[in-house]
């Protein structure tokens, strides 16, 4: 059985590696210390500090495991390998809804780097799925759960 790959830019992978290092070298030791301190309070059956620290330890270990998997199966996408005006992971695209003056700018990233509030959308999102592989000047219909709409790709640039 093949493992799922995680398409991402090199910068996204480096960010994940930094997060992993932070979890392993800072958060994990902090939680271990909290567990030690909570154990010193005595009876563990009614020790809420101990329970909270154990819950946090489970969360941190889960995060570490998830990040290790994403890093291990990272598929680095080189946006320079696709045409300059073609939408791909690692590119920023400006689209204009047909019939309006509304323009939206999206940086296409792997799912691990998505942050809608800063304009970074996952390559797995309906918008990115409709745009990837298209070029500047193309008209595209974007299907979303809220309905469909048509846009024109105004510009495509490598994400800084």
CATH number at residue 49: 1.10.287.180
Residue 107's domain is classified under what CATH number? 3.10.50.30
Query: According to the model, what pLDDT value does residue 95 have?
Result: 94
Q: How far apart are CA 23 and CA 19, in angstroms?
A: 6
Q: Do 70 and 101 share a domain, yes or no? A: no
Q: What pLDDT sits at residue 94?
A: 94
Q: What is the pLDDT of residue 2?
A: 59
* Structural domain harbouring 123: 86-158
Question: How many structural domains compose the chain?
Answer: 2
Residue 93 falls inside a structural domain: yes
13-61 confidence digits (pLDDT tens): 999 999 999 999 999 999 999 989 888 877 777 778 888 899 999 999 9
Question: Which letter, b or e, does each residue of 86-97 get, where b requires 16 or more Cβ atoms within 10 Å of its Cβ?
Answer: bbbbbbbbbbbe
| DSSP per position, 111-157 | GGG-BGGGTEEETTSHHHHHHTT-BTT-EEEEEETTEEEEEEEEEEE
Overall average pLDDT of the 94-110 stretch: 92
End position of a domain, from candidates 76, 98, 132? 76
pLDDT grade, residue 66 (50/70/90)?
A: very high
Contact, 135 vs 84, CB < 8 A? Answer: no
94 and 127 housed in the same domain = yes
- Domain contains 81: no
Looking at the fold, whether 136 and 95 belong to one and the same domain comes out as yes
Q: Of 73-82, 112-121, 125-134, where does the model show the most confidence?
A: 125-134
- Band (112; pLDDT cuts 50, 70, 90): confident
Residue 131 has what pLDDT? 95
pLDDT tens digit sequence for 125-156 = 999 999 999 999 999 999 988 889 999 999 99
| pLDDT-based confidence at residue 158 (cuts at 50, 70, 90) | confident
Same domain, 52 and 104: no
Say what the pLDDT of residue 151 is.
Answer: 93
Asked which of 76, 100, 122 is the last residue of a domain, the reply is 76
Last residue of a domain, one of 76, 99, 134: 76
Q: What is the pTM of this model?
A: 0.74
* Residue 118 banded pLDDT, cuts 50, 70, 90: confident
In-domain check, residue 109: yes
């Amino acid at each position: 059985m093949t493992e799922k790959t995680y398409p991402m830019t090199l910068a996204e992978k480096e960010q994940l590696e930094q997060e992993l290092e932070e979890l392993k070298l800072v958060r994990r030791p902090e939680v271990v210390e909290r567990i030690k301190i909570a154990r010193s309070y005595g009876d563990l059956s009614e020790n809420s500090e101990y329970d909270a620290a154990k819950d946090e330890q489970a969360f941190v270990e889960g995060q570490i495991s998830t990040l290790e998997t994403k890093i291990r199966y990272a598929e680095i996408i080189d946006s320079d390998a696709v045409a300059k005006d073609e939408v791909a992971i690692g590119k920023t695209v400006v689209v204009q809804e047909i019939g309006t003056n509304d323009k939206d700018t999206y940086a296409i990233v792997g799912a691990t780097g998505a942050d809608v509030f800063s304009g970074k959308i996952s390559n797995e999102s309906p918008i990115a799925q409709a745009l990837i592989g298209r070029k500047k000047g193309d008209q595209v219909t974007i299907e979303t759960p809220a309905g469909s709409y048509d846009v024109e790709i105004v510009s495509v640039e490598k994400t800084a």
